[in-house]
């Protein structure tokens, strides 16, 4: 028996852990020194365990500031910490929490001086990165013929994969994109130039955040020790979705006396496409010798018939930690597999069921419709609107990615970082009569002055501004003249941008509404830098066009969500749509065993979201335009499961109504 367990008897805890947790959970929560791996099955109280552990450590007298909770989204960590605060007291809120990316961002800015870097970098998202790559390829590789050369998007996928999997770019090409092998040289040249440009313009993409943090920790051992000493207790949630660099960062952060707790479920690893490697979780005990392993196998979420099905689904995975989930929630309805005669028949069936449930008194926010890809819900959305059912859509294309939002942000970004070439281009090209060439000249002239964004104002003589450019100069004069709050700055930018959006888009009223929404978000920030970082790192997850007006938020909404965005959540009733072989699994995953396994886990994640009722549906016959195939089989992940586990139904009565 170790010291800690002896103390356990003496200390009087304010929280009654024995009563609130099961044996395995208590073991995890009261674990103190060393490395701990918690293999937590779906619905086994993973979040609960992490939350109680934070509270427990604080009760033990650990200073909350020395606890670091790394999660998959910042929302998740904020929620856990606030739950811990409610359990114990608000000391728990002082623990540090966030994603690997947000932690990297904060750390790099804080220690910028010490590492000889700059703190006024801008974080660029995927589409920013794409336009940068686009600029470069035009300059250095204009002679490459279009055909047979990867698009910007693909180029970025290659670069990013190389970083996230810690393997050279060439190798990624040979392994995953053999058809581009002939273009290795120009691709490498573009990559090199891309890395240079980012440095020049003080831009960091998502991968750079992790890379830079990793490099700093690795190369500057004094600083590493300092940071490691600051965070004596580290917890990582969703460990199955970390990649190699994140695992390395964790190792370096943990220091020589690692107190690290990793929680995850290899069966729920669904982010391989961005370099996540579920084998990380298998390797954890090797990296931290002497790791204690605890399994949480009791499922508190789902009724037995649902769990029977999900156990059957994950049985088909070939590589996993063996675990057997069980539940005490016996009884309940057998999950249903529903074939409908068409896509619209599927939508109508779903809406009918939802209306029926709602009429029986079920709140709409207890129901979710989940799907593999964002566009799978288009037809359903039309049907829901027609029947007047309130819904929110999560995942897929986002609010923040729409052109008008990015336009406004570009103006703010050059204020924060005048070297941000992407944003200069973006905002200059909005102006009439200014194209790439003029934008380049103006950008260069601004940079040459090294007077920040306000350098633009002094260019009157050189560039003989037209009306549009004149207005932009006036805008920057206003911003330059006096200090402003984030929201005030947003307001003057939107005032400036108003005429542009009216001219550019027919649907400008809707877009102007979005900008209002953006303003109300800005209102919550005191520093422009923090606002911009957050917009890149954790933008509002609600899809575009579905931004809620404040009056709407009280009302319960049906949830439509991609499965990826549904991770960690649960509902009373869950519908999984488009469980059609070729859609789910996606047609593009069919020729790779690893991809198929990932899709299988995705189906598992979707099905384990349900507490009481689960419906899986697919349209009976769909012609796939892309491949020319006729898709007419249910998803292989649920096909062939006996009727007593998954009840089959065919719904054909909508045929005449379509």
Partner DNA sequence: TCACGGAATATTTTT
Partner DNA sequence: TATTCCGTGA
Residue from 7, 86, 110, 151 in contact with DNA (CB under 7 A): 151
CB 317 within 8 A of CB 293: no
The count of other CB atoms within 10 Å of the CB of residue 652 is 12
Q: Shortest CA distance to 203 belongs to which of 431, 533, 528?
A: 533
Verify binding: residue 374, DNA, rule CB under 7 A.
yes
> In whole angstroms, what is the distance from residue 222 CA to residue 440 CA?
42
Q: Which is nearer to DNA, 100 or 233 (CB)?
A: 100
- Rounded least distance, CB 432 to DNA, Å: 4
Q: Which is nearer to DNA, 55 or 204 (CB)?
A: 204
Residue from 588, 627, 649, 652 in contact with DNA (CB under 7 A): 588
* Contacts of residue 286, Cβ cutoff 8 Å, sequence gap at least 6: none
CB 332 within 8 A of CB 303: yes
Residue from 68, 439, 542, 638 in contact with DNA (CB under 7 A): 439
Helix (H) / strand (E) element for 260: namely strand 260-264
* Contacts of residue 414, Cβ cutoff 8 Å, sequence gap at least 6: 420, 423, 424, 427, 453
Contact region with DNA (CB under 7 A), list: 253-261, 328-336, 373-381, 470-478: 373-381
Verify binding: residue 404, DNA, rule CB under 7 A.
no
- Rounded least distance, CB 436 to DNA, Å: 5
Per-residue binding string, DNA, 114-133, x by CB under 7 A, is -----------xx-------
Tell me how many residues contact DNA (CB under 7 A): 44
Q: From residue 84, give the alpha-carbon distance in Å to each of 193, 236, 262.
A: 47, 16, 18
Residue from 212, 269, 327, 565 in contact with DNA (CB under 7 A): 565
Kindly give the pairing relationship between strand 67-70 and strand 96-98: parallel
> In whole angstroms, what is the distance from residue 264 CA to residue 47 CA?
10
Residue 293 β-bridge partners = 37
Contact region with DNA (CB under 7 A), list: 304-312, 367-375, 382-390, 484-492: 367-375
> In whole angstroms, what is the distance from residue 414 CA to residue 421 CA?
8
Write down how long the chain is.
658
Verify binding: residue 623, DNA, rule CB under 7 A.
no
Verify binding: residue 438, DNA, rule CB under 7 A.
yes
Supply 613's token pair. 């009722």
Verify binding: residue 460, DNA, rule CB under 7 A.
no
- Rounded least distance, CB 143 to DNA, Å: 11
Q: Which is nearer to DNA, 372 or 411 (CB)?
A: 372
287: burial class by Cβ within 10 Å (0-12, 13-18, 19+)?
middle
- Rounded least distance, CB 564 to DNA, Å: 4
CB 320 within 8 A of CB 266: yes
- Rounded least distance, CB 168 to DNA, Å: 20
Q: From residue 272, give the alpha-carbon distance in Å to each of 70, 197, 597.
A: 19, 28, 10
- Residue 557: strand, helix, or coil: coil
- Rounded least distance, CB 411 to DNA, Å: 18
Verify binding: residue 395, DNA, rule CB under 7 A.
yes
DSSP tag of 298:
B
- Rounded least distance, CB 395 to DNA, Å: 3
Per-residue binding string, DNA, 510-549, x by CB under 7 A, is ---------------------------xxx-x--------
- Rounded least distance, CB 187 to DNA, Å: 15
> In whole angstroms, what is the distance from residue 287 CA to residue 293 CA?
13
> In whole angstroms, what is the distance from residue 639 CA to residue 581 CA?
9
- Rounded least distance, CB 90 to DNA, Å: 26
Q: Which is nearer to DNA, 162 or 565 (CB)?
A: 565
> In whole angstroms, what is the distance from residue 35 CA to residue 291 CA?
5
- Rounded least distance, CB 134 to DNA, Å: 6
> In whole angstroms, what is the distance from residue 376 CA to residue 578 CA?
7
Contact region with DNA (CB under 7 A), list: 55-63, 285-293, 353-361, 585-593: 585-593
Residue from 32, 48, 101, 198 in contact with DNA (CB under 7 A): 101
> In whole angstroms, what is the distance from residue 117 CA to residue 108 CA?
8
* 77 backbone dihedrals φ, ψ, rounded to 5°: -70, -40
The count of other CB atoms within 10 Å of the CB of residue 552 is 12
- Rounded least distance, CB 208 to DNA, Å: 11
Rounded to whole angstroms, the maximal C-alpha distance in the chain is: 81
Verify binding: residue 568, DNA, rule CB under 7 A.
no
Q: Which is nearer to DNA, 352 or 529 (CB)?
A: 529
- Rounded least distance, CB 378 to DNA, Å: 7
- Residue 586: strand, helix, or coil: strand
Residue from 586, 621, 622, 647 in contact with DNA (CB under 7 A): 586
Contact region with DNA (CB under 7 A), list: 22-30, 182-190, 351-359, 436-444: 436-444
Residue from 435, 498, 640, 652 in contact with DNA (CB under 7 A): 435
Residue from 34, 93, 134, 332 in contact with DNA (CB under 7 A): 134
Verify binding: residue 72, DNA, rule CB under 7 A.
yes
- Rounded least distance, CB 527 to DNA, Å: 19
- Rounded least distance, CB 333 to DNA, Å: 29
Verify binding: residue 273, DNA, rule CB under 7 A.
yes
CB 91 within 8 A of CB 54: no
Residue from 146, 179, 461, 464 in contact with DNA (CB under 7 A): 146
- Rounded least distance, CB 128 to DNA, Å: 11
Verify binding: residue 326, DNA, rule CB under 7 A.
no
Verify binding: residue 564, DNA, rule CB under 7 A.
yes
Residue from 375, 623, 650, 653 in contact with DNA (CB under 7 A): 375
Contact region with DNA (CB under 7 A), list: 406-414, 526-534, 551-559, 582-590: 582-590
Q: Which is nearer to DNA, 163 or 528 (CB)?
A: 163
Q: Which is nearer to DNA, 550 or 626 (CB)?
A: 626
> In whole angstroms, what is the distance from residue 344 CA to residue 347 CA?
5
Secondary structure string (H, E, C) spanning 538-576: CCCCEECCCCCCHHHHHCCCEEEEEHHHHCCCCEEEEEE
Using CB under 7 A as the binding rule, the residues of this chain from 73 to 92 that contact DNA are 73
DSSP tag of 510:
H
- Residue 69: strand, helix, or coil: strand
* Contacts of residue 219, Cβ cutoff 8 Å, sequence gap at least 6: none
- Rounded least distance, CB 85 to DNA, Å: 23
Can you tell me which residue has the tokens 């979710």?
A: 368
Q: From residue 6, give the alpha-carbon distance in Å to each of 1, 3, 11, 30, 502.
A: 7, 5, 9, 12, 71
- Rounded least distance, CB 355 to DNA, Å: 26
> Which residues would be at the binding site for DNA (CB under 7 A)?
72-73, 99-102, 125-126, 134, 146-147, 151-152, 206, 270-271, 273-274, 373-375, 395-397, 432-439, 537-539, 541, 562, 564-565, 586-589, 626
């Amino acid at each position: 028996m170790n010291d800690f367990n002896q103390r356990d008897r003496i200390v009087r805890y304010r929280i009654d852990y024995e009563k609130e947790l099961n044996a395995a959970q208590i073991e995890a929560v009261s674990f103190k020194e060393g490395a701990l791996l918690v293999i937590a099955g779906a619905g086994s109280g993973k979040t609960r365990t992490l939350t109680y552990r934070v509270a427990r450590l604080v009760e033990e007298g650990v200073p909350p500031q020395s606890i670091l909770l790394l999660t998959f989204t910042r929302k998740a960590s904020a929620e856990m910490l606030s739950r811990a605060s409610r359990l114990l007291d608000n000391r728990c809120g002082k623990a540090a929490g966030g994603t690997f990316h947000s932690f990297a961002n904060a750390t790099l800015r804080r220690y910028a001086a010490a590492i000889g870097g700059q703190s006024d970098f801008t974080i660029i998202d995927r589409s920013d990165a794409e336009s940068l790559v686009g600029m470069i390829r035009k300059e250095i590789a204009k002679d490459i013929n279009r055909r047979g050369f990867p698009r910007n998007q693909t180029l970025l996928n290659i670069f990013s994969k190389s970083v996230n999997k810690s393997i050279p770019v060439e190798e990624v090409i040979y392994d995953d994109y053999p058809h581009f092998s002939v273009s290795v040289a120009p691709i490498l040249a573009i990559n090199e130039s891309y890395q240079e440009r980012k440095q020049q313009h003080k831009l960091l993409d998502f991968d750079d955040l992790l890379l830079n943090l990793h490099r700093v920790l690795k190369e500057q051992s004094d600083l590493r020790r300092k940071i490691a000493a600051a965070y004596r207790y580290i917890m990582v949630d969703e460990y199955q979705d970390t990649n190699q660099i994140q695992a390395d960062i964790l190792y370096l952060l943990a220091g020589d006396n690692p107190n690290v707790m990793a929680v995850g479920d290899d069966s729920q690893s669904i982010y391989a496409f961005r370099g996540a490697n579920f084998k990380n979780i298998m390797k954890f005990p090797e990296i931290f010798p002497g790791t204690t392993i605890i399994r949480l196998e009791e499922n508190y979420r789902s009724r037995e018939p649902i769990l029977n099905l999900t156990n059957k689904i994950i049985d088909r995975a070939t590589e996993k930690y063996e675990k057997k989930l069980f539940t005490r929630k016996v009884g309940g309805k057998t999950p249903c597999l529903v074939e409908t005669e068409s896509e619209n028949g599927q939508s109508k069936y779903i809406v009918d069921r939802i209306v029926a449930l709602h009429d029986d008194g079920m709140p709409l926010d207890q129901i979710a419709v989940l799907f593999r890809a964002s566009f799978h819900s288009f037809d359903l959305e039309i049907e829901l609107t027609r029947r007047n059912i309130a819904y929110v859509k999560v995942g897929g294309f986002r609010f923040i990615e729409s052109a008008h939002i990015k336009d406004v942000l570009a103006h703010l970004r050059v204020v924060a970082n005048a070297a941000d070439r992407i944003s200069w281009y973006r905002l200059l090209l909005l102006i009439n009569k200014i194209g790439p060439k003029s934008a380049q000249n103006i950008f260069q002239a601004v940079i040459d002055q090294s007077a920040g964004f306000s350098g633009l104002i002094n260019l009157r003589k050189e560039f003989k501004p037209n009306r549009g450019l004149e207005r932009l100069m006036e805008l920057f004069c206003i911003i330059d003249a006096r200090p402003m709050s984030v929201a005030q700055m947003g307001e003057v930018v939107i005032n400036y941008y108003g005429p542009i959006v009216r001219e550019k888009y027919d649907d400008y009223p809707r877009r102007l509404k979005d900008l209002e929404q953006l303003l109300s978000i800005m209102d919550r920030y005191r520093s422009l830098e923090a606002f911009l970082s957050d917009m890149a790192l954790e933008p509002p997850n609600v899809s575009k066009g579905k931004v809620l007006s404040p009056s709407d938020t009280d009302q319960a909404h049906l949830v439509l969500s991609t499965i990826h965005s549904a991770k960690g959540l649960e509902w009373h009733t869950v519908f999984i749509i488009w469980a059609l072989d070729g859609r789910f699994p996606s047609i593009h995953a069919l020729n790779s065993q690893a991809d198929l396994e990932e899709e299988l886990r995705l189906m598992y994640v979707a099905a384990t979201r349900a507490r009481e009722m689960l419906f899986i549906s697919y349209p009976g016959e769909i012609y796939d335009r892309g491949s020319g195939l006729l898709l007419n089989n249910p998803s292989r992940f649920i096909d062939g499961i006996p009727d007593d586990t998954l009840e089959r139904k065919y719904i054909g009565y909508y045929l005449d109504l379509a």
